[in-house]
Amino acid sequence: MIRICAVEDVPKGTAISAAVDGTQLALVHGEDDQFYAVYDECSHAAVALSEGEIEGCTLECWLHGSRFDLRTGEPTGLPATEPVPVYPVEVRDGDIYVSLTPSNGVTR
Ligand code: FES
């Protein structure tokens, strides 16, 4: 697992974009108080999901409004139809770590 930042760097209900070993991630602090990491690009067009709106444990693409479930990577609505890669996140001693092996088996 690779350290990204400290827990306090990502306040609840916000997301940051982080490059980890050449992979751009959206690291999200969900409203359910969990941390999630997904590939930081919408599966519909090449825009950054980290700039979208967080609601509960979903992240909305700001361009056309597809909403992605941060636990599964699946879009809950059109126009996106493909899931985005989801990466395992761990919080240890106040720091956030991710693994670059997608937990939902989706590769980019
Ligand atoms: S670019 Fe994300 S829904 Fe179209």
Predicted local confidence at residue 31, as pLDDT:
96
At the topology level, CATH places domain 2-98 in Rieske Iron-sulfur Protein (2.102.10)
**Chain segment 1-36, per-residue pLDDT in tens:** 999 999 999 999 999 999 999 999 999 999 999 999
Distance 65 CA to ligand 1 centre (A): 6
Alpha-carbon span 12 to 20, nearest angstrom? 21
pLDDT band (50, 70, 90) for residue 71: very high
Residue nearest to atom 1 of ligand 1 (CA): 45
For the chain, give every domain's residue range: 2-98
Tokens coding 87: 């990466």
Cβ neighbours for 46, distance < 8 A, ≥ 6 positions apart: none
The answer, as to whether pTM is greater than 0.75, is yes
| Helix H or strand E segment including 38 | strand 35-39
Distance 41 CA to ligand 1 centre (A): 9
Predicted local confidence at residue 75, as pLDDT:
98
pLDDT band (50, 70, 90) for residue 52: very high
CB 78 within 8 A of CB 66: yes
CB 30 within 8 A of CB 56: yes
Ligand 1 atom closest to Cα of residue 43: 2
